[in-house]
A = this chain, B = another copy of it.
Amino acid sequence: VADVRLISLTTDFGLSDSYVGAMRGVISSIAPGVPLVDITHKIAPQDVRSAAFVLWAALPYFPAASVHLVVVDPGVGTGRRALASETSWGVLVGPDNGVFSYVWAAAPARSTVELSNPAYWRSTVSSTFHGRDIFAPVAAHLAAGVSLAALGSPLSAPVRLPAPHLSATESRLRGEILHIDHFGNAITSIGRLVWDGELLYLDPAFGTIQPRVVNPARLVVRIGERDVGSIRRTYGDVPPGELCALVGSEGLLEIAINQGGGAPALGIDVGDPVDVVVA
């Protein structure tokens, strides 16, 4: 089964309606037996930026030949374009609304086309559900071996989201909260941070500041008026219920409560600024 080409699914459809099922049915009709692998269907409704982050965090772990189908699509039925894009992280399929911005920053597009060839769509296209009528059939045809070029003409200047905030002075790194996860951990744009003995290397995942080496023992993390202390190795380095800063699983600075309720209980929200300062 070594050349099975899977399709991952990422949407904001939730899991209570017929919508995800209908997409899975469409794909299974065109490409029977293709593995369908959910990333998540619980992106907050129409939250393109949140989807962009989740894709950036999940896609590196998939086989490079995967097809990644994404439907977070507030502009469905309007003039927004639809695209497919080939990268070293797989082929991306979804609306041209910036949802692939963070993926492209790490895995630049080799080729991107506008989905303009209706031969690979369902024969009837609704004005409110392109996930089922355009994106799902296109993803299925790609998994079944259709080439990117067959789907449409090259698309230039796709929509891109602004990079997450990340800035540096001699004595301070400033980022922002990018995502709050199921455990209440607040993940920031400060990274990627790599431990090497006593030193941290900052190799920016986003933005354009220069890589640098910092000494974690001399650093203090601050969010708003709150002092979170120095950077730890894992949640268990502080007692249960206590706040800590650590390097998360994607190398981004993360603010967590060991076995606790997390960021929402503290009033921490996406977009809040976070500082790392030399103590």
Q: Which residues of A contact B (CB under 8 A)?
A: 1-4, 6, 8, 10, 13-26, 28-29, 32-43, 45-46, 53-55, 57-63, 66, 74-78, 126-129, 132-133, 179, 181-183, 233-236, 246-249, 254, 259
Q: Given the complex of chains A and B, what is the CA–CA distance between A181 and B33 in angstroms?
A: 29
Contact B62 A25 (CB under 8 A): yes
Told that A1-B33, A20-B40, A76-B235 touch, could you supply 4 new A-B pairs with CB distance under 8 A? A18-B57, A19-B182, A25-B58, A25-B63
Contact A40 B17 (CB under 8 A): yes
Q: Given the complex of chains A and B, what is the CA–CA distance between A21 and B25 in angstroms?
A: 20
- Chain A interface secondary structure, helix, strand, loop or mixed? loop
Closest-CB distance, A106 to chain B (whole angstroms): 14
The interface residues of chain B lying within 8 Å CB-to-CB of A18 are 39-40, 53-55, 57-58
Q: Given the complex of chains A and B, what is the CA–CA distance between A8 and B24 in angstroms?
A: 10
The 8 lowest CB-CB distance pairs between A and B, nearest first, are A77-B234, A1-B33, A14-B182, A21-B39, A129-B249, A25-B61, A25-B62, A18-B58
Q: Given the complex of chains A and B, what is the CA–CA distance between A219 and B78 in angstroms?
A: 22
Contact A32 B4 (CB under 8 A): yes
The interface residues of chain B lying within 8 Å CB-to-CB of A133 are 249
Contact A1 B32 (CB under 8 A): yes
Give which listed residue, B29, B127, B183, contacts A246 with CB less than 8 A.
B127
CB<8 Å pairs between A and B, sample of 28: A1-B33, A2-B32, A4-B33, A8-B25, A14-B182, A15-B40, A15-B42, A17-B54, A17-B181, A18-B40, A18-B58, A20-B39, A21-B40, A22-B61, A26-B61, A28-B35, A28-B37, A28-B62, A29-B62, A33-B35, A45-B259, A126-B247, A126-B248, A127-B233, A128-B234, A128-B235, A128-B248, A132-B249
